[in-house]
Chains A and B, each alone.
Chain A
């Protein structure tokens, strides 16, 4: 069955600390896509990254980095030197190409609420 697990419900850190948000997924498909979205208090979900199942390269974008490991079915997200503006709920999501993977039919994790205190 398809599933995305974000085991950390809430994380609180002090500014400038590094923080890693965990995401573990289950899928029966060989072609699938993984996403991270950020939802600040204003409400809109903001796309952060997309990875397809054939691309296991890790990615760095400024203070953000992602570690995709198919062997452990994980797609973890690290924020380096966290800032107060990083405070938000972060969702990991999965979309399958061949099993119900239509547009917008994302399987979301339950989200991790990150609070960065000054």
Chain B
């Protein structure tokens, strides 16, 4: 199984809502990532979890809250988002040989297309 599965595929939410994005992989990878991708732009790294611990937070606003309940699951909790947060949110995983492993190949999910009204 070489898949990263993300749910839901599409999400529409109001600025006062609380929602969560989910990501799952069963490749035994120990590093998991959240990326944000605006239309016609490259992905931007948001968070990195390594061995279920948050290792990188790229100065993401607190209205985005990541969680890694176990080595296979990654969540992104959303609260009080702004319309400019509308984007494709991509989850990825890699083997996770440790922080500093700049050469790792990433496996991406298909993303959640988020619209904030």
**Pairing of A with B:** yes
Name, among A44, A95, A96, A105, the residue most crowded by chain B CB atoms within 10 Å (CB to CB): A44
Contacts of B4 in A (CB 8 A): 44
Determine whether the beta carbon of B90 is less than 8 Å from that of A43. yes
Contacts of A32 in B (CB 8 A): 102
Interface residues of B in 71-107 (CB under 8 A from A): 88, 90, 92, 94, 96, 99-107
Determine whether the beta carbon of B101 is less than 8 Å from that of A91. no
Contacts of B12 in A (CB 8 A): none
Contacts of A47 in B (CB 8 A): 105-107
Contacts of B111 in A (CB 8 A): 43-44
Closest to B44 in A: A108
Q: List 27 A-B contacts (CB under 8 A).
A: A33-B102, A37-B108, A43-B111, A45-B92, A45-B106, A46-B108, A91-B43, A93-B42, A95-B102, A95-B103, A97-B103, A101-B102, A102-B48, A102-B99, A102-B101, A103-B31, A103-B100, A104-B31, A104-B35, A104-B45, A105-B45, A105-B56, A105-B102, A108-B43, A110-B42, A111-B41, A111-B42
* Known A45-B106, A47-B106; 8 more pairs at CB < 8 Å: A37-B108, A44-B108, A50-B105, A97-B102, A103-B99, A104-B45, A104-B48, A105-B48
